[in-house]
């Protein structure tokens, strides 16, 4: 199973871009990269996902390197409400594990500073 490595914590000034890195060097060709965040002890919230190409939605942008061994989540204008734990997840294909397996690491605790 592919695993992810993220820095344990990061700070970001309010209004600035937050760039959260993730390494997934053992990712396989058909495994997607997902990003979720968890605010306090609430249920994780979906942010974005991608396979090969860069992706953008109303919340964030996802930049995946050409070799797919790492990715960066970008929150373009961080606000105090973006303070949360951010999880980079590799989703394992069901042909291997019997189901879509979302492998969570320990995430990055992002603190947005006023």
Partner 1 sequence: NAGVTQTPKFRVLKTGQSMTLLCAQDMNHEYMYWYRQDPGMGLRLIHYSVGEGTTAKGEVPDGYNVSRLKKQNFLLGLESAAPSQTSVYFCASHARGVTGELFFGEGSRLTVL
Binding residues vs partner 1 (CB under 8 A): 32, 34, 36, 41-46, 49, 87, 94, 98-102, 104-107
Cβ-based nearer residue to partner 1, 61 or 102: 102
Cβ-based nearer residue to partner 1, 14 or 102: 102
For residue 57, the minimal CB distance to partner 1 (Å) is 11
For residue 40, the minimal CB distance to partner 1 (Å) is 10
Cβ-based nearer residue to partner 1, 49 or 61: 49
User: In the 8-state DSSP scheme, what is residue 105?
Assistant: -
Cβ-based nearer residue to partner 1, 17 or 97: 97
DSSP string, 7-72: -SEEEEETTS-EEEEEE-TT--TTPEEEEEEE-TTSPPEEEEEESSS-EE-SS-EEEE-TTSSEEE
For residue 86, the minimal CB distance to partner 1 (Å) is 11
For residue 91, the minimal CB distance to partner 1 (Å) is 9
10 Å CB burial of residue 49 (0-12, 13-18, 19+) is middle
User: Which of 56, 77, 81, 64 lies closest to 21 in space, CA to CA?
Assistant: 64
């Amino acid at each position: 199973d592919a695993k992810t490595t993220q820095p344990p914590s990061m700070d970001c000034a309010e209004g600035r871009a937050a760039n959260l890195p993730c390494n997934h060097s053992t990712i396989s060709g058909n495994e997607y990269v997902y990003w979720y965040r968890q605010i306090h002890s609430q249920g994780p919230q979906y942010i974005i996902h991608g396979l090969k190409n860069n992706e953008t939605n109303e919340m964030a942008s996802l930049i995946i390197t050409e070799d797919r061994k790492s990715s960066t989540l970008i929150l373009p204008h961080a606000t105090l409400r973006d303070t949360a734990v951010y999880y980079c997840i590799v989703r394992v294909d069901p042909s291997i594990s019997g189901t879509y397996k979302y492998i969570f690491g320990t995430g990055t605790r992002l603190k947005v500073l006023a």
